[in-house]
Structure 1
Amino acid sequence: MNTSDYSLAEPTAIIVMGVSGSGKTTLAQHLAKRLEIEFLDADDFHPATNKAHMASGKPLTDAMRLPWVEILRHRLDAEAAAGRSLSLAFSGLRKSHRELLRQSRGKKIFFHLTGAKALIAERMIARTGHFMPESLLDSQFDTLEPPSSEPDIISLHIEHTIEQLTEQALSHLHR
């Protein structure tokens, strides 16, 4: 299909979630490009203190995450109020954080990237220039509250190529 076949009928926040190293940023960027909408990486909204905390090998506490999620909620609200859609890479580990994002204006759809911890660890080791060390992967899985009962979340398995994941996500968006 052409890019023009994938327009959104109303302002929509496409939120690609999962543990660090699952491919959230890559998929969210691909979706933004295909849909010709803005891409946001939630990591860019972390205060420097949060990034330094994680870079030192310590997981964030919920108290450290909450102001960050509030900033993201306000941004989603502003974009929807302006009539704009966006694609957001966001860990979304806690259900309460996903609920906060749902409180913003506009339509939301979540894609949860799932996969084997060993595959994600391999990806984390191979990437460069990211503040999140592979040593925090266990804490990411421990913190994750699986979204099994949330109807606006679609699980995608990371064993597929990025092209396949993009097509799967686009297909779900346009059903």
Structure 2
Amino acid sequence: MTGKCIIVMGVCACGKSSVGELLAKVMNATFVDGDDLHPQANIEKMAQGEPLDDADRAPWLSRIRDLAFEFETQHKTVIIGCSALKQSYRDQIRKGNQQVGFLYLKGSYELILARIMARKGHFMKQNMVDSQFATLEEPTNEPLVVTVDIDASITDIVQQALAQFRAQGF
């Protein structure tokens, strides 16, 4: 049995944690919220409404890459919620890992904005939505990426994702 990692990716409020938790349960895997892997300085910066830059994200992406490697080498499966907005970020996570797939949770700006406005007690604020969409490089022509529209139930999203991963032999 080979270990593997699925990164549940997308902009803020697309459902990375909710979908990731259910996907992990269905796959008998471990779920890790990538937000928990941010250095404290990143969390403080985002809480002040400041978007992270590539230098801020570098140690965070390294932690995610290393966690994927750890699970892969232990022949276990991990689901990690991580925005992974740019292809270079996804490539950094792939580096040195053989079994990393990405589930892109795609949603409209209007839907994401409505979800952010409904959130209470989360460090991501409404003014960060524009920054997230500006940074987003939708994954196209990348290995092991499946895309699911988030305008569906969490159960349907997970079932669609699993079917697409199976179709790719992952």
Q: Do both share a fold (TM > 0.5)?
A: yes
Alpha-carbon contact 1:81-1:105 (below 8 Å) kept = no
Amino acid at match of 1:78: E
Q: Which residue of 1 aligns with 2:162?
A: 170
| Residues 122-131 or 58-67, more deviating | 122-131
108, 111, 126: which one pairs with 2:103? 111
Deviation at 1:37, TM superposition (A): 0.6
Deviation at 1:151, TM superposition (A): 3.2
Q: Which residue of 1 aligns with 2:136?
A: 144
Alpha-carbon contact 2:46-2:52 (below 8 Å) kept = yes
Deviations 1:86-117 (A, max 9, x none): 11111001111100111133411111111110
| Residues 106-115 or 24-33, more deviating | 106-115
Amino acid at match of 2:21: Q
Q: Which residue of 1 aligns with 2:112?
A: 120
Alpha-carbon contact 1:13-1:106 (below 8 Å) kept = no
Deviations 1:113-137 (A, max 9, x none): 1111011111111122211111100
Alpha-carbon contact 1:73-1:103 (below 8 Å) kept = yes
Which residues of structure 1 form unaligned runs of 5+? 1-8
In structure 2, what is the Cα distance between the partners aligned to 1:153 and 1:89? 14
Q: Normalising by the residue count of structure 2, what TM-score does the alignment of the two structures yield?
A: 0.94
Counting matched residue pairs gives 167
Q: Which residue of 2 aligns with 1:75?
A: 67
Q: Which residue of 1 aligns with 2:88?
A: 96
Q: Which residue of 2 aligns with 1:65?
A: 57
Deviation at 1:74, TM superposition (A): 1.0
Q: Runs (4+) of structure 1 moved beyond 2 Å?
A: none
Amino acid at match of 2:156: Q
Q: Normalising by the residue count of structure 1, what TM-score does the alignment of the two structures yield?
A: 0.91
Q: Which residue of 2 aligns with 1:12?
A: 4
Q: Among all aligned residue pairs of Structure 1 and Structure 2, give the percentage whose two residues are the same amino acid.
A: 37
Q: SS at the partner of 1:174?
A: helix
Alpha-carbon contact 2:146-2:165 (below 8 Å) kept = no
135, 139, 142: which one pairs with 2:127? 135
Deviations 1:42-73 (A, max 9, x none): 10000111011011111001100011101111
Q: CA RMSD in A?
A: 1.1
Deviations 1:3-22 (A, max 9, x none): xxxxxx53110111000011
79, 84, 92: which one pairs with 1:87? 79
Alpha-carbon contact 1:10-1:106 (below 8 Å) kept = no
In structure 2, what is the Cα distance between the partners aligned to 1:162 and 1:27? 6
In structure 2, what is the Cα distance between the partners aligned to 1:34 and 1:23? 16
